[in-house]
Every structure is written in structure tokens, then in C-alpha cells.
Structure 1
Amino acid sequence: MTSALDVEQTLDRANSDVVLIVDDVPDNLSVLHDALDESGYTVLIATSGEAALQRAQQALPDIVLLDAMMPGMDGFEVARRLKAAPETAHIPIIFMTGLTETEYLVAALEAGGVDYVTKPIKPKEVMARMGVHLQGARRARQEARQAGQARNALDAFGYASITVRMNGMGDGKLIWQTPLARDLLMRYYGTSAPQTPEPVLQWLRRHLAEAGRQIEPPRLAVEQGPRRLTFRLHQQTGDGDGDGGGDWLIVMREISDDAVIEAMSLSFKLTAREAEVLYWVVKGKINRDIGDILGASPATIKKHLERVYAKLGVETRTAAAGMAVNRIRLLHPQFEC
């Protein structure tokens, strides 16, 4: 299935606006398509409500010209669904209708339309109406692009970010994520958008219930071997409803102690496995737990540990851990025992 990113990359948005025309009458499509194409617009076509929703999700057009009366899913329902989806809610919709009664025009506006033109379609009139609404669409698109670039830039520095939507009922859907955030959530929790991992959701709900919005809650952390993922509540990015609602930006960072293990190996002339055993001793793990982590028996861990004692010149677990901690703090001050 073609993704929105794939379609986005094929559209020349720098030089033309993208228009989606939705009409089940081929003659209407042909006249309007040719006029818009000659005027420099990039034109997409859909001949049914279902196809319109699919094309809109894939291409995220700058504006939609929508026939009100179509068999099956009519234009009013298409508009409601476009406005209900976060990805397409910002796209202006101009209805094309042969119905001039007030009740139909009101229905078009209530469904999410910003304007309407009556049939038979006059391309110049359509383009004049489009020009007014595209100015606002361009500004919204530029602001969204700048926000996306700023957030995606976090990935380059090892920070990932997600946005979780908390309405009055606390539905907690994950509505936005950077590429790095997507990979980290899958690796640590096995989840993907729109599902927010339950521990993260509980942490956020607890903060909203207990501390409100003024105090940053303690960071959430989850460990996976020598790696741990931390979550920090950054800010509210959407309007709240006074009861913890709105969109919440959460910044994530993965911290790895692989470098610490490597440093212990080099400093004490340990093998990679011996350094791993010593690392978990520093972390307070007993031989059985270390064996479970490394996939070895407690007896094997004991043998590794005996060799560690010999290389460090100590006789006890406590002495080995103390020597390792002192050395690690010199090399990696940020290390947490």
C-alpha cells in the first residue's frame, strides 16, 4: 500500500498546490481537471467517497473540491470523515453542488466545508474561491512543516518524541511520533501508533490526576539489559479541557551502558563476558539473576566471577563492585548504579 510519505515525495509541493477533485461524473472531472492543470495545479482525482478518503490520507492535498451528491457515501459524509481524522482535519473543503436550497448549503458548511460553488461548474469561479482558502492552507502547512522539522531534529541528538492525546475520558491515543520514537516503542514495548504503551499511559494519567500541569512529574524509565529508555513530559501542545485533556508532548531518550561495559573490559583487561558479569554485579544482581540475563547457568557465572576477582586482585563481590564503580565514575560520571 502506498504511504502518505511515498505520495508526498512524488508531488512537487514547492511549485504547485495539490488539489483533490471528487466527483462521480467523468465530464465534470474532465473540465475541471484540464482547467486546473493548465493553471499549474497538481490535480488528483477520485470518483467515489471511499476513493476520496484513501487519496486524501495518502496525498494530504492542499484543498479538496467535493461533489455533494454521489452514490454510496455522499460528499457530506466524506467531509465529516476528513474533518474527524487528525491527518486531514486541516484541509479546506469546497463543496460542488447543484442543490441551491438553503438547507443543503447549511449542511455542507456543517459537515466541514469552508465554501461552495454551484453547478454547472465555472472553472474561473472555482479557482478564485480556491485562491482565498489556499492562502490559509499554505500558512498552516508551513507551520506544520517547521514544527515537524524541529521535532525530528531531536532524533539526530538521540532524543525521540511522541504526542499523546488525552481527552476528557483519557483515551490516550498516540497521534504523532518521530521515526526514532516508533523504533524505540516497538523494541521496548512491542506497540505501535495509535496505541500508547500502557505503562506510559498510566504514568501520564497519574501525573494529570495528581500534579496537574504545573509540575513536571518524575521521569519514567524502563530497562532492557544494559539499556534503559526514559520518558520526560515536555509540554502540552493542544488546548486542554480543564480536566487533563489536550495533546501532550513526551520526549524519550535511550541511555546505553554498553560503553561502560567496554570501559571495564579495557580497564581491567577482562573478556567481554567477564565485563558483562562485573557490570551486573555493580548493578546489585546475584549470580542466578545474572545467569538469566546473560543466558548462562549460575555455575558459569560463578566461574566468570572468580576470574574477575583474580584480575582485579580482590577476594569478594563487594570489593570487586567497589573497584569497578570507582573506575567507572572516573570514565563515565553520568553512570547510575
Structure 2
Amino acid sequence: MVPVRTDSKLVMLVDDVPDNLKMLSDALDQAGYMVVVAIDGASAIERLDYVVPDIVLMDAVMPGMDGFETCRRLKAHRLGSHVPVVFMTGLTDPSDVVRGFQAGGVDYVTKPIETDVVLARLEAHLRTARMMSVAMDAIDAVANAVVVLDDAGRAVWRTGKARYWLSHYFGGDEAMSGLPPSVHAWVADCLRRPGGLGGGLTGEAPVFEATHGRHQLTLRLTASRKAAEYVLLLEERLLPADPSVTLAATYSLTTRELDVLQWVIKGKTNRDISDILGMSPRTVNKHLEHIFVKLGVETRAAATSLALTQMHAT
């Protein structure tokens, strides 16, 4: 099922206390927000498959899966990694605040909740999220293929073209949030190398290549200007065609006719070609007659000249 996206500001409230949900829902509704409610962490994660909020307001203390674990799972979800999470809780110990940010939260509001403060913070974080979304859309619009990685080599975000190419060349779901296993292993190896990216970029950027048909994808790993962050640049190019295959296709040569023509080009006689290909001289001569007709020539020299001209032009 495709998740619902709306033009309105959509807030997901995650809290197991009905009174808190009602108070915040009423305040958000009056402020012009749309609201979706979840009474526990598991329900919040499940809702992401149906609707993607612009921001999440989450209680940190809930039975079963607490808010910190819910936030971690939300950030690991293929559709929720970019959604900002604001914690609301009565926990005021600095260690709990740190846990909130380590789990992926962008803010921490302590109880008792003051709705005006919550609304102001939500609006500030939504402005930041909108600017990030516009920036990423702009990168996609100019067709750049980029993946930003954290210090452990995990994908933080990527452009649409990068997502498509990784899926096309390595298989898997285009919406997956991580790197393909082979690419992730290569990145991890690069970051572990002595004097490599793990200690800052030195020398040329490491390169990983993959092919699909006549196309080749090149991945270059570079250090970002931001500490403990790396950038994976993807470029695609068309590989040159095999001149012999192109020649055969152009003149409708069979596999055997192409074999004979290639040895003619190398200056071999009919007897030589007969020995090399394991066929009688008469059969070689019959193939040559067909080749001359298809190429529109009458001599070996003319066939050789035309074939070489066509192959060099490919």
C-alpha cells in the first residue's frame, strides 16, 4: 500500500495517556494541524506504512516499547528516516535528554506540557524539515546521484537517482534505506584502511564499479567537509560496443560467417581458416561467398577494407 501524503502539516502523536492525547490533539487542531494518534510504539511504527507524518511528538515513557526505542525503529524505517521526532516526557535527568538525542530526536519537551511552547517548537522544526526537503528535491532535479554516509558507513540519505541506480545495478527494493550488501562491505573496508578515509581523505577517492548490460556504474567514496560524514558519488556511463558484434548485426552475418571474416581480416588463407575452424576449404569458400553478398563486395581485400572501416567507426 502506498502511504498517504498530504499538503497539510501532519503531526503524529504517540502517547499512552488519553488526557495528554486529547489536550494536544485539540491544541494542534486549533492551530491548523492534521493529527494522527498512536497509543504505543508498535502502533506508531505500523502507521508509517499507511501515512507519513511531517513530524512526530512522542512520549518517552510508555509501557512495552518506550519512546526511545520507538524513535530508533522509526528512524530505521524506510519511510520514516527523515521525519523529525520531538520527545515529551517528565524525565529531566541529563542522561535521559542525551538518550533522546542519541535515539534520533531533534528536541526534548518536559512535562507538564505547555501547548504554546510545543506549537512553537513544532513549527520551528517543520520549517527546518521543509528547507531540507526543498534542498534534496533540488539535488534530485539536477540529476545528481549522491548518498551521504555516517561515520560507520550507513546511509543517512540519498537522492532519487542514487536510489534508482543502486536498485537497478544491485537488485533489491528501490525503497530500501540501506546500501546493498556488497557496497556496504566495500565502504566498511575503505573506512578501516590505515591512512584511508577513516583518518581523512588522502590520495584519490576509492572506486567501486558494477556493470549491467552495456552500462557501468562507478561509485566514488569521498570525505565530506563535515566531520564523521562521507559522500558516495555515483556516475553511469555507456560501455563501448564490441565492434565484431556490431559488424555482425549491421550485415546480418551468422556466427560462422563472422568467424571466417575475422580470420580473413587477419590475412589467413582459406586453407588456414579451414584448419583453424575445423571445416573443409569448400565450406570456408561457401561462407565467403555469403559474406561477399552481404557486404556488397567481390574480393577478400574489399571485404577486409569495409569490415575494418566499420569496426573502427564503432
Instruction: Give TM-score, length-normalised by structure 1.
Output: 0.61
What amino acid does structure 2 have at the position aligned with 1:138?
R
- Indicate the residue corresponding to 1:116 in structure 2: 109
Q: Which structure would you say has the larger Rg?
A: 2
**Counterparts of 2:82 and 2:207 in 1: how far apart (Å)?**
35
What amino acid does structure 1 have at the position aligned with 2:309?
N
Which of 204, 207, 215 does residue 215 from structure 1 map onto? 204
Structure 2 portions without partners, runs of 5+ = 263-277
Asked whether the 8 Å contact 1:57–1:88 carries over to 2, the reply is no
Which of 236, 242, 250 does residue 234 from structure 2 map onto? 250
- Indicate the residue corresponding to 2:15 in structure 1: 23
How far off is 1:61 after superposition?
3.0
Asked whether the 8 Å contact 1:80–1:112 carries over to 2, the reply is yes
- Indicate the residue corresponding to 1:229 in structure 2: 216
- Indicate the residue corresponding to 2:310 in structure 1: 327
Instruction: Give TM-score, length-normalised by structure 2.
Output: 0.64
**Counterparts of 1:102 and 1:223 in 2: how far apart (Å)?**
52
**Counterparts of 2:99 and 2:203 in 1: how far apart (Å)?**
42
Structure 1 portions without partners, runs of 5+ = 155-160, 283-297
Give the length in aligned residue pairs: 281
- How do 1:43-192 and structure 2 match up within 5 A? 43-56=35-48, 59-82=51-74, 88=80, 91-99=83-91, 104=96, 107-109=99-101, 111-113=103-105, 114-119=107-112, 121-150=113-142, 153=143, 161=145, 163=147, 165=149, 167=151, 176=158, 178=161, 180-182=164-166, 184-186=168-170, 190=171
Check 1:232–1:140 CA distance in 2 against 1; reply closer, same or farther (3 A cut).
Answer: closer
- How do 1:184-333 and structure 2 match up within 5 A? 184-186=168-170, 190=171, 194-196=178-180, 198=182, 214-215=203-204, 220=209, 222=211, 224=213, 227-231=214-218, 233=220, 236=223, 239=226, 241=228, 246-255=230-239, 257=241, 265=249, 270-271=251-252, 274=254, 278=258, 306=288, 307-308=290-291, 310-312=293-295, 313=297, 323-330=306-313
Aligned partner of residue 33 in structure 1, secondary structure = helix
The CA RMSD over aligned residues, in Å, is: 4.8
- Of all paired residues, the percent bearing the same amino acid is 28
**Counterparts of 2:47 and 2:68 in 1: how far apart (Å)?**
17
